[in-house]
Structure 1
Amino acid sequence: MKVNESIAVVTGGASGLGEATVTNIVESGGKAAIFDLSEELGAAVVERLGSENVLFVKTDVTSEEEVTAALNETIEKFGSFNTVVNCAGIGPAEKVVGREGVHDLSNFNKIIQVNLVGTFNVIRLAAQRMISNTPNHEDERGVIINTASVAAFDGQIGQSAYSASKGGVVGMTLPIAREFARHGIRVMTIAPGLIETPLFNSLPDKARDALGKMVPFPPRLGFPSEYAMLAKSIIENPLLNGETIRLDGAIRMQPK
């Protein structure tokens, strides 16, 4: 699929990896709908890229009703959509048994709900609509790109909930890709390493530099634009399907 033909739904698209992906798609000639909770950040992206190319819908990805309404609004504005990029996620750290006691079960459930169940919720509701798309010359009707993390493979101490949620995203990639193959819808997952998101920007320069030097090459934090570059490559390459790609500079995380 050519990216300038892409009409993308991007969850978490108002900041970080999602915003970079929206920017890349729109600047390449495509269109995007942002599903995010931050109205302020979402409005800023629409203003920057233009309301003719970008739609913002305040959306909780764990809600069937809100995602359904947001998808319907996307179709109403753009006619259809053929790309989904799931970037919405949270990742607070907490030890299973720490100094302040046992891991809060509600916190574990919340992380699983947003990162794993929210991703699945968007996939199932979006795919239901994408199946009706007119196939292109490759018989392709769409592509779904999910976001995992290297924590799915190299989870550190305190990341049990986060790693479980991202491991689930990795685990469902292949079976969903196999199921959707007959509909011409590809499913891929990106597992980023240390990416320079707003979370890292809040750290002192010394701490950010130290984290960057943990990466074999290039020895720095990754940029959201590099995630967006990979997402664009996945959109454009019809042979990429059913796989998780690590985007991490060859880092392998230590226990802590």
Structure 2
Amino acid sequence: MNIDGQIALVTGGGSGLGAATARLLASRGAKVAVLDFDLARAEAVAAEIGGLAVQADVGDAAAVEAAFARVEEGLGAMPRVAVNCAGIGVAARIVGREGKLSIDLFEKVIRVNLIGSYNVMSYAVRGMQAQDPLEGGERGVVINTASAAYQDGQVGQAAYSASKGGIAAMSLPAARELARSGIRVMAIAPGLFNTPMMESLPEETTRQIVANIPFPDRLGHPSEYGLMVAQIVENPYLNGEVIRLDGATRLPPR
């Protein structure tokens, strides 16, 4: 699919991987809706790229439905490209100190990361199915964000890894289901990227993390995630797969 002239929706677009993706798609000629839980951040990125800012909690299906209605009204059509970058990365042991459990945290992470991605994918796909097919029969593409942690989950990441594993696991069945509509579904599993969450870590911690990355021996640039999104959108034969984007790193247990 040619990005130029398409309408795209990027969740978590107010910062990190989502913001970089919104910027790259806009630079390729897309009209981008920047969806974020933090409206101020969404507005800042949207103003920079000439896009549309939308606020929503992706874990709330009604809020997501309303957000898609605002996108259609503001940009004139439903998006053909939907990129799910919204998510939270909080960590906790299954049983912590003094027997404290983390069930509430597990439910929250699953709601935002996994159910949130499913909510956005569902409304995006419904909008894509109503559109006329492009050359080659394609109507749209959904790109979800998994994580290297879905395979290499570390101590304290049971909830996060479960949420990202769910995103990875639904890629193929979703792609198979939506094939008849000409809609592709892909997932990217990023490794260690230079996002606001990583920037908050002490310098020594960052050095230890980078030491586990074979090549390039650095944190990933968010723009490289955006580049992968663009490559998926433009390559019509990429479908139903999870792509690790991690510099060949494998996360250690801790």
Q: Same fold (TM over 0.5)?
A: yes
Q: How far, CA to CA, are the matches of 1:56 and 1:83 in structure 2?
A: 16
Report deviation, 1:33. Answer: 0.6
Report deviation, 1:6. Answer: 2.5
Structure 1 pair 43/187, CA: closer, same or farther in 2 (3 Å)?
A: same
Q: Secondary structure at the match of 1:4?
A: coil
The residue identity in structure 2 corresponding to 1:8 is A
Structure 2 match to 1:30: 30
The residue identity in structure 1 corresponding to 2:45 is V
Structure 1 match to 2:40: 40
The residue identity in structure 1 corresponding to 2:40 is E
Q: Secondary structure at the match of 2:86?
A: coil
Deviations 1:152-178 (A, max 9, x none): 001011000000000000111100000
1:157 aligns with 2:120: no
Structure 1 match to 2:119: 121
Contact 2:148–2:190 under 8 Å retained in 1: yes
1:137 paired residue among 135, 138, 149: 135
The residue identity in structure 1 corresponding to 2:32 is A
Q: How far, CA to CA, are the matches of 2:75 and 2:98 in structure 1?
A: 50
Q: Secondary structure at the match of 2:136?
A: coil
Report deviation, 1:100. Answer: 4.5
Aligned length: 253
Q: How far, CA to CA, are the matches of 1:63 and 1:98 in structure 2?
A: 29
Q: How far, CA to CA, are the matches of 1:232 and 1:141 in structure 2?
A: 16
The residue identity in structure 2 corresponding to 1:187 is V
Q: Secondary structure at the match of 2:92?
A: coil
1:68 aligns with 2:65: yes
Deviations 1:63-86 (A, max 9, x none): 121111110111112222100000
User: % of aligned pairs identical?
Assistant: 50
More moved, 231-240 vs 92-101: 92-101
Deviations 1:194-244 (A, max 9, x none): 011001111233322221121010011101101000000000000000000
Contact 1:6–1:25 under 8 Å retained in 2: no
More moved, 201-210 vs 229-238: 201-210
Structure 2 gap ranges (5+): none
Structure 2 match to 1:230: 228
1:110 aligns with 2:111: no
**Residues 169-184 of structure 1: matches in 2 within 5 Å?**
169-184=167-182
The residue identity in structure 1 corresponding to 2:227 is M
Contact 2:93–2:102 under 8 Å retained in 1: no
Q: Secondary structure at the match of 2:188?
A: strand
The residue identity in structure 2 corresponding to 1:76 is E
Contact 2:95–2:102 under 8 Å retained in 1: no
**Residues 180-195 of structure 1: matches in 2 within 5 Å?**
180-195=178-193
Structure 1 gap ranges (5+): none
Contact 2:33–2:46 under 8 Å retained in 1: no
Superposition CA RMSD, Å: 1.0
Deviations 1:44-74 (A, max 9, x none): 1122122xxx111110111121111110111
Deviations 1:6-53 (A, max 9, x none): 211111011000000000000111111111111221111122122xxx
Q: How far, CA to CA, are the matches of 2:221 and 2:250 in structure 1?
A: 18
Contact 1:209–1:220 under 8 Å retained in 2: no
Contact 2:56–2:63 under 8 Å retained in 1: yes
- TM normalised by structure 2 equals 0.97
Structure 1 match to 2:7: 7
Structure 1 pair 164/76, CA: closer, same or farther in 2 (3 Å)?
A: same
Structure 2 match to 1:19: 19
- TM normalised by structure 1 equals 0.96
Q: Secondary structure at the match of 1:97?
A: coil
1:55 paired residue among 37, 52, 58: 52
